[in-house]
């Protein structure tokens, strides 16, 4: 039986993250929109690393590229690079307190966004502006809630 | 948790594999530009996500609409009627002037300007990446939308179509960092190029000499050069001119007329010489 338990809820969580990423919100909050896709992917990488790996991350990254209209592979590369430390050290990160996890998540998302900027700069001559890094803060701040909500979600829907 | 020990290829091998795949896709897309069909197919496939994203807003609009009272609607109706009357009078005058202009142009043996065709489109998603200012609209090649098509709103030019799916298309806004548009000052016909800087409320004019005759408050309209945007549509107004002699050129900042941060309804334009033609969905507009 190749459909493992909780496949549908897992996919639903990805779709929700993608929807949140492109949902129109008031212009005031726009620069502070948390990096939902990165947060959700990080949670699953830490929670069920035997199931969610580079393949999933790559596909989510390519879907992000399509939704954002960027050159194919920019978000995919950034997400894969961000995923590596998470998969490598998932057992350690799991045992951190939420505050420590928050810092780790902040650093990982910083890496991801800096990489996206570098690639955009190389390929499309993007110019750096500070508001691009605001989501690092907002994502780190919101991580404990994302973690707790997704943990409850995982337990309720038996995603193992 | 299955096993403490890994099976299969090592983590680093898998990382390299994933990076190779992503890197080669990037190469294919950026250097060889061969991914357009794939991109078109995938954006059609992922369109439901974009429709889901605007669903809450649509439900809210619906609720607000249902909650409006009869008297408010009546007031609204009256106001719209008045506005319509005023616009119709203006159009009469415009028709007369247009005919006269065409006749005068014929007398001078120059080309008569043909009318362009329009279609209304709704924004269904925004790309929030500050390095690419784009919105997605709910019309695609099924409606005759084509790449490089000009997009307007009721105030001015918004951008151009950059890729087309079946029922959605992507609009590159004039504020995008990679977008430049050729403009002309309405007051004295000085030609300028306005470059997006990645800020929705700012365009920068490039290569303006310090001795320029441009002034703050000058209105810039599209010049029709570059063959993407039709001539004469308002685009931006000059907000500030910094004639710092230490810099090579004057720094001129313009503010777009179109409110790029809150666009909802857009207008697609088919210039008279376009080979594509608009295909209208024969739907009744949903105001029940």
Read off the pLDDT of residues B173-231 as tens digits, 9 standing for 90 and up. Answer: 999 888 999 999 999 889 999 999 888 888 999 899 988 889 999 999 998 888 889 88
Q: How many domains does chain A have?
A: 1
Which residue is associated with the tokens 């924004």?
B123
Q: Is B63 on the interface with A (CB under 8 A)?
A: no
Using DSSP's 3-state secondary structure scheme, residue B194 falls into strand
Q: Is B197 on the interface with A (CB under 8 A)?
A: yes
B13, pLDDT greater than 80: yes
Q: What is the pLDDT of residue B128?
A: 64
Does the residue A1 lie in any domain? no
Q: In percent, how much of chain B has pLDDT > 70?
A: 94
Which chain B residue shows the shortest CA-CA distance from A76? B22
In 10 A of CB B159, how many CB atoms? 30
The first and second tokens of residue B116, run together, are: 């362009």
| End-to-end CA gap in chain B | 55
A57 or B54: which leads in pLDDT: A57
Burial of B284: CB neighbours in 10 Å, binned 0-12, 13-18, 19+: exposed
Q: Phi then psi for B169, rounded to 5 degrees?
A: -145, 155
B159, pLDDT greater than 90: yes
CA atoms within 13 A on the CB side of A117: 15
B10 contacts in chain A (CB < 8 Å): none
* CA torsion angle A111 A112 A117 A119 (round to 10): 110
Q: What is the pLDDT of residue B86?
A: 93
Question: What single string gives the DSSP state of each residue in chain B?
Answer: ---SS--SS-HHHHHHHHHHHHHHHHHHHHTS---HHHHHHHHHHTHHHHHHHHHHHHHHHHHHHHH--HHHHHHHHHHHHHHHHHHHHHHHHHHHHHHHHHHHHHHTTPPPPPP-EEEEEEEEEEE--TT--EEEES--GGGT--TT-EEE-SSSEEEEEEEE-SS-EEEEETTSTT-EEEEEETTT--EEEEEE-S-TT-EEEEEE-TT----TT-EEEE--TTSSSPTT-EEEEEEEEE--TTSSSEEEEEEESS-GGG--EEEEEE-TT-S----------S--
Q: Is B5 on the interface with A (CB under 8 A)?
A: no
Cα B161 from Cα B164, distance rounded (Å): 7
A1, pLDDT greater than 50: no
Interface probe for B, chosen from A73, A112, A124, A134 (most Cβ of B below 10 Å), is A73
Specify the CATH class of B115-275 in words.
Answer: mainly beta
Mean pLDDT of B59-88: 91
Q: What is the pLDDT of residue B284?
A: 43
Distances (CA, A) of B72 to B62, B76, B231: 16, 6, 40
Of B30, B49, B130, the CB nearest to A18: B49
Residue-number span of the structural domain to which A46 is assigned: 7-21+29-156
Mean pLDDT of B65-89: 91
Read off the pLDDT of residues A64-123 as tens digits, 9 standing for 90 and up. Answer: 988 888 888 899 999 999 999 999 999 999 999 999 999 999 999 999 999 999 998 888
Which chain A residue shows the shortest CA-CA distance from B177? A126
Q: What is the pLDDT of residue B3?
A: 57
Mean pLDDT of B31-55: 82
Cα B159 from Cα B144, distance rounded (Å): 17
Which chain B residue shows the shortest CA-CA distance from A62? B22
Mean pLDDT of B98-116: 81
Mean pLDDT of B19-45: 84
Contact A73 B26 (CB under 8 A): yes
Burial of B48: CB neighbours in 10 Å, binned 0-12, 13-18, 19+: exposed
Q: What is the pLDDT of residue B252?
A: 93
Q: Which positions 258-287 of B are in contact with A (Cβ < 8 Å)?
A: 261-262
A77 contacts in chain B (CB < 8 Å): 19, 22-23, 26
Q: What is the pLDDT of residue B164?
A: 85
Of A19, A72, A131, the CB nearest to B53: A19
List of residues 6+ apart from B32 with CB closer than 8 A: none
Does the residue A2 lie in any domain? no
With residues binned 3-state (H G I as helix, E B as strand, rest as coil), the percentages for chain B, rounded to 5, are 35, 25, 40
With residues binned 3-state (H G I as helix, E B as strand, rest as coil), the percentages for chain A, rounded to 5, are 75, 0, 25
B1, pLDDT greater than 60: no
Distances (CA, A) of B201 to B157, B171, B192, B235, B239: 13, 17, 18, 12, 11
Distances (CA, A) of B143 to A95, B41, B79, B207: 54, 16, 33, 39
Interface probe for B, chosen from A13, A14, A19, A115 (most Cβ of B below 10 Å), is A19
B125 contacts in chain A (CB < 8 Å): 22, 24, 67
Mean pLDDT of A138-146: 95
B286, pLDDT greater than 60: no
Q: Is B163 on the interface with A (CB under 8 A)?
A: yes
* CA torsion angle B266 B140 A70 B44 (round to 10): 130
Interface probe for A, chosen from B18, B54, B168, B195 (most Cβ of A below 10 Å), is B18
B125, pLDDT greater than 80: no
Q: pTM of this prediction?
A: 0.79
A89 contacts in chain B (CB < 8 Å): none
Distances (CA, A) of A18 to A13, A22, A45: 9, 7, 17
Cα B87 from Cα B90, distance rounded (Å): 5
Q: Partners of B185 in the beta sheet?
A: B220
Answer yes or no: are the C-beta atoms of B171 and B139 closer than 8 Å. no
A18 contacts in chain B (CB < 8 Å): 46, 49
Read off the pLDDT of residues A10-46 as tens digits, 9 standing for 90 and up. Answer: 999 999 999 998 887 877 888 888 999 999 999 999 9
Taken in order B9, B13, B19, B24, the sign of the CA dihedral is negative
Q: What is the pLDDT of residue A129?
A: 81
Of B30, B127, B199, the CB nearest to A68: B127
Q: How confident is the model at residue B287 (pLDDT cuts 50, 70, 90)?
A: very low
Does the residue A125 lie in any domain? yes
Does the residue A113 lie in any domain? yes
Q: Partners of B269 in the beta sheet?
A: B118
Contact B131 A55 (CB under 8 A): no
List of residues 6+ apart from A6 with CB closer than 8 A: A154, A157, A158, A159, A160
Cα A85 from Cα A110, distance rounded (Å): 13
Which residue is associated with the tokens 């338990």?
A5
Contact A126 B198 (CB under 8 A): yes
B167, pLDDT greater than 90: no
Q: How confident is the model at residue B4 (pLDDT cuts 50, 70, 90)?
A: low
Which chain A residue shows the shortest CA-CA distance from B168? A67
Contact B29 A72 (CB under 8 A): yes
B253 or B277: which leads in pLDDT: B253
The first and second tokens of residue A49, run together, are: 């690393």
């Amino acid at each position: 039986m190749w459909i493992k338990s909780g496949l549908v809820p897992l996919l639903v969580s990805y779709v929700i993250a993608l929807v949140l990423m492109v949902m129109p919100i008031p212009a005031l909050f726009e620069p502070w929109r948390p990096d939902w896709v990165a947060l959700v992917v990080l949670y699953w990488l830490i929670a069920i690393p035997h199931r969610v790996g580079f393949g999933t991350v790559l596909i989510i990254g390519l879907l992000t590229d399509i939704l954002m209209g960027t050159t194919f592979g920019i978000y995919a590369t950034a997400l894969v690079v961000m995923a590596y430390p998470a998969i490598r050290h998932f057992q350690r990160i799991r045992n951190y307190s939420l505050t420590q996890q928050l810092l780790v998540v902040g650093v990982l998302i910083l890496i991801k966004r800096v990489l996206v900027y570098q690639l955009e700069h190389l390929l499309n001559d993007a110019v750096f502006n500070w508001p691009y890094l605001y989501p690092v803060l907002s994502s780190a701040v919101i991580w404990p809630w994302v973690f707790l909500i997704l943990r409850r979600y995982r337990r309720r829907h038996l995603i193992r | 948790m299955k096993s403490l020990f890994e099976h299969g290829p090592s983590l680093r091998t898998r990382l390299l594999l994933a990076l190779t795949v992503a890197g080669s896709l990037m190469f294919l897309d950026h250097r060889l530009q061969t991914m357009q069909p794939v991109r078109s197919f995938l954006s059609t496939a992922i369109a439901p996500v974009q429709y889901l994203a605007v669903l809450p807003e649509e439900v809210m609009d619906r609720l607000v609409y249902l909650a409006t009272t009869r008297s408010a609607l009546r007031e609204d109706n009256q106001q719209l009627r008045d506005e319509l009357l005023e616009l119709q009078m203006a159009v009469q005058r415009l028709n007369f002037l247009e005919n006269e202009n065409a006749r005068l142009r014929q007398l001078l043996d120059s080309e008569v300007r043909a009318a362009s065709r329009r279609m209304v489109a709704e924004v269904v998603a925004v790309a929030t990446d500050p390095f690419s200012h784009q919105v997605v609209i709910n019309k695609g090649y099924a409606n005759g939308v084509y790449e490089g098509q000009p997009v307007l709103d009721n105030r001015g030019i918004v951008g151009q179509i950059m890729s087309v799916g079946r029922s959605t298309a992507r609009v590159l806004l004039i504020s995008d960092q990679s977008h430049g548009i050729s403009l002309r000052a309405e007051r004295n016909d000085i030609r300028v190029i306005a470059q997006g800087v990645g800020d929705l409320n700012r365009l920068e004019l490039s290569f303006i000499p310090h001795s320029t005759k441009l002034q703050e408050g000058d209105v810039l309209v599209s010049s029709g050069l570059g063959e993407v945007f039709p001539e004469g549509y308002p685009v931006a107004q000059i907000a500030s001119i910094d004639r710092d002699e230490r810099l090579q050129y004057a720094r001129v900042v313009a503010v777009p007329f179109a409110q790029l941060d809150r666009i909802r309804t857009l207008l697609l334009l088919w210039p008279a010489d376009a080979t594509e033609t608009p295909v209208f969905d024969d739907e009744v507009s949903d105001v029940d």
